[in-house]
Structure 1
Amino acid sequence: MSPGDEQGYTDYGDTGQTRTRLPEGDPYGGAPRRGTRRSSSRSLVTVVGVVVLLIAAIAFANRGDDSSADGSTAKGSKPQTSSTAPSGTRPVETKSSGVPTGFARTAQGAQSAASNYAVALGSTSMFKKDSRHTLLELLYTSEAAARLQGPMDQAYSAEFLAKMGLDTAGNPPNGSTFVSRVVPAGTTVQQYTDNSAKVAVWYVGLIGMAGDTSTDPVTSSWKTWTFDLQWSDGDWKIASDTQKDGPAPVPGDDKAATSAEISKATEEYGGFTYAR
């Protein structure tokens, strides 16, 4: 599904929606590629209705065994320059629980909110009960948070955490680093009014366990996360969200990093505050 540590995020820069910075990424122990149990893991996510990096996480754990405003484009129309160009506007000056908040009541503000919310919901904080509840209450409308808390707690069960190599509190073994990150590559506004917005975030997700004894190395996947946002209590809040695979670029010929290199990069490289 979906997970991340951006929930611990350091101050990110103030640039546009296409901004990315990734840690470079030994398939430790010669672990196999994604296996045949991927579909079953996705079904779990569908059943509970939790659309967070858990989609990617569960697949990972089970492997081997119309016109719109401010830069949005009509269906079928050619993308405009503003679809990807950074605005140069700083998104926010404040944070709550380490997550940027207080976005502008504009289409650009909605895009910035969606990008940063994807980062938070794709972090390792989602694998720990207390921080997960904090993020739900902070980022979702009160109705959505109340609806999702139970299903999410069930999805992040002790059994699921064990499949990810984590203990019941969501912690990795000593000497290992659990990686779960979402790195937005771009956003688009599909619908916008002063009170609601539908924003799609195209991103690359990183998830896995880096460690000498890990059999599940950190891998990447490309997805699109679509948020239905509502203006509530002076900020954009998530009313509902969905994910789908891709679009994924053709893999390059980069040499896979060792577990030690991935662990070091995860510790040294923080995230950004993503802006439209």
Structure 2
Amino acid sequence: MSFDDEPGHGGGDSGHADDRFNTLGGTRQTRTRMPEGPTDSYGGARRPPRTSRSLVMVVGVVVLLIAAIAFANRSGDDATTSPDNAAKPGTAQSTAATGTRPVSGKQSGIASGFPQTEQGAQSAAANYAVALGSDGMFGTNRRHEIVDAVYAPEVAAARRGDLDKVYSAKDFLTRIGLNPDGTAPTGQTFISRCNPVGSKADKFDGATATVSVWYSALFGLAGEGSKNPVSESWFTNTFQLKWVGGDWKVTDFTQKDGPAPVGRDQAAAPAKDMTDAVEQYGGFTYAR
């Protein structure tokens, strides 16, 4: 409603609004209009009543201010942050980031040395999902390094044998467009990358943990003439973890499809753009 739409202003019908005995809500209560701020000899202009639209704008500004203050106070570089004011697991959203910094250790290029906490188990599971879904799994030597770094020692040897059978199968490699040795054809780039969206601890008792990781996956061959172009899929991996040797290790995991969001109507990138993106944009070390 504009200022001119009010009765008595602009070209509208004045109706009962100009009646000095006008009522409020039919109760016959009179309305007294008090001066607002400095006035001239003619009484000054009346301030239009605040509408619900302006109230929404005020609330929106307040919300933005609160969010900005919270973001500033949550800076990861703030040396004054202490366990007392840090987010506690389970006290807010189950998948909310805690602000805990990623681990600094690595084993075979994979993050290691996670703390023996629920957050540490979730961080380990997210990083292991990335390693097990990477293109390194398609090369024998790199696959063995990943398995030894991710799996518990008592199951690593068995997993190496099982995975060798899967990733070395000629029909499997042919179906996805790779050469018998797991490499991409000349002029094409093989892409297999997992991007965790969130994680949650389904079970945790200090020595073992069950953690689910929801992620999107890019998979396919980028390049001219590719019969297997890069596509996106969504999965949830549920990891069985065990605390062994001062770190979390995988004893088993299962995978299921989704949940997958509705895809936007976006044009697919040309083969060269996709290849450049994968080569130029590195991955992350994931932490809760």
Contact 1:71/1:189, CA 8 A, preserved across alignment: no
**Separation (CA, whole Å) in 2 of partners of 1:151 and 1:229:** 19
Which of 277, 282, 285 lines up with 1:265 in the alignment?
277
The one-letter code matched in structure 2 to 1:171 is T
The residue that corresponds to 2:93 in the other structure is 82
Name the TM-score, length of structure 1 as normaliser. 0.70
**Structure 1: 5+ residue runs without aligned partners?**
1-13, 16-69, 73-79
The one-letter code matched in structure 2 to 1:154 is K
Q: How big is the alpha-carbon RMSD for the aligned residues of Structure 1 and Structure 2?
A: 1.6
Instruction: Work out the number of aligned pairs and report it.
Output: 202
How far is 1:82 from its partner? Answer: 3.4
Partner-residue secondary structure (3-state), 2:187? coil
How far is 1:168 from its partner? Answer: 2.4
**Structure 2: 5+ residue runs without aligned partners?**
1-74, 77-87
Which of 132, 148, 151 lines up with 2:143 in the alignment?
132
How far is 1:255 from its partner? Answer: 1.2
Which of 102, 106, 109 lines up with 1:91 in the alignment?
102
How far is 1:147 from its partner? Answer: 2.1
Listed one character per residue, the Cα deviations across residues 57-87 of structure 1 (whole Å, up to 9, x for unaligned) are xxxxxxxxxxxxx746xxxxxxx73322211
The residue that corresponds to 2:72 in the other structure is none
How far is 1:142 from its partner? Answer: 1.7
The residue that corresponds to 1:230 in the other structure is 242
Name the TM-score, length of structure 2 as normaliser. 0.67
**Separation (CA, whole Å) in 1 of partners of 2:178 and 2:89:** 41
1:204 aligns with 2:219: no
Q: Between 265-274 and 169-178, report the one with greater CA deviation.
A: 169-178
The residue that corresponds to 1:239 in the other structure is 251
How far is 1:249 from its partner? Answer: 0.7
The residue that corresponds to 1:221 in the other structure is 233
Question: What are the equivalent positions in structure 2 for 1:179-190 lying under 5 Å apart?
Answer: 179-190=191-202
Contact 2:130/2:195, CA 8 A, preserved across alignment: yes
The one-letter code matched in structure 2 to 1:113 is A
How far is 1:160 from its partner? Answer: 1.5
The list of structure 1 runs, each at least 4 consecutive aligned residues, that deviate by more than 6 angstroms after superposition, is none
The one-letter code matched in structure 2 to 1:121 is L
Which structure has more RCO (C-alpha within 8 Å, separation ≥ 6)?
1
The residue that corresponds to 1:63 in the other structure is none
How far is 1:235 from its partner? Answer: 0.4
Partner-residue secondary structure (3-state), 1:273? coil
The one-letter code matched in structure 2 to 1:91 is P
Larger Rg: 2
**Separation (CA, whole Å) in 2 of partners of 1:145 and 1:204:** 26
